[in-house]
Structure 1
Amino acid sequence: MSLRSIALLSLCVLLTACNKINQQNYSQLKAGMTKVEVEQLLGSPKECAGALGMSSCTWGDEKSFISIQYAADKVLMYSGQGLK
């Protein structure tokens, strides 16, 4: 195997390992967690929206995502799709 192939393979493994949107992290979510705790686990969300103390944030893309609904900055409900 050439050095270039090894470098490319290593990069692919690193990029996969850096993806925080996965089943393992999803299983660590719990109702009542703070936004800070969630962002330490999943990183910054792709998008957030809300009003009047309620908000909804999403991590990932159309195929693989985690969506979390907050009340007063604490996890109320969460769901995921396409997680590996």
Structure 2
Amino acid sequence: MPLRRFALLSLCVLLAACSKLNQENYSKLKTGMAKAEVETLLGSPTECSGAAGFSSCTWGDQQTFISVQYAGDKVLMFSGKGLK
């Protein structure tokens, strides 16, 4: 049984280390980037909303997130919190 727990814990640590929500990827975001470029960098967003040619997408949760606002298909501005 202890071996299973160790394997599960190791997998969780490995998955957390592979998160795309990190300071390195955040620093790669630039205004004017295409939405497809952002999704290649960060993966699929947790949620998106928008109207009238503007949209906002968020990756993560309340403690750790990256939020990107778009005008059409291009990054207008972005913010992040809790990134390591």
- Fold match, TM over 0.5? yes
User: What residue ranges of structure 2 are gaps of 5+ in the alignment?
Assistant: none
Of all paired residues, the percent bearing the same amino acid is 72
- Under a length normalisation based on structure 1, what TM-score does the superposition of the two structures give? 0.87
Partner residue in 2 for 1:57: 57
CA distance in 2, matches of 1:7, 1:72: 45
Partner residue in 1 for 2:81: 81
- Under a length normalisation based on structure 2, what TM-score does the superposition of the two structures give? 0.87
Deviation of the 1:44 alpha carbon: 0.5
Partner residue in 1 for 2:28: 28
SS at match of 1:83: coil
**1:44-82 deviations in whole A, cap 9, x for unaligned?**
111111111100000000000000000011000000011
SS at match of 1:30: coil
CA distance in 2, matches of 1:50, 1:5: 43
Matched, 1:19 2:19: yes
Count of matched residue pairs: 83
CA distance in 2, matches of 1:80, 1:13: 22
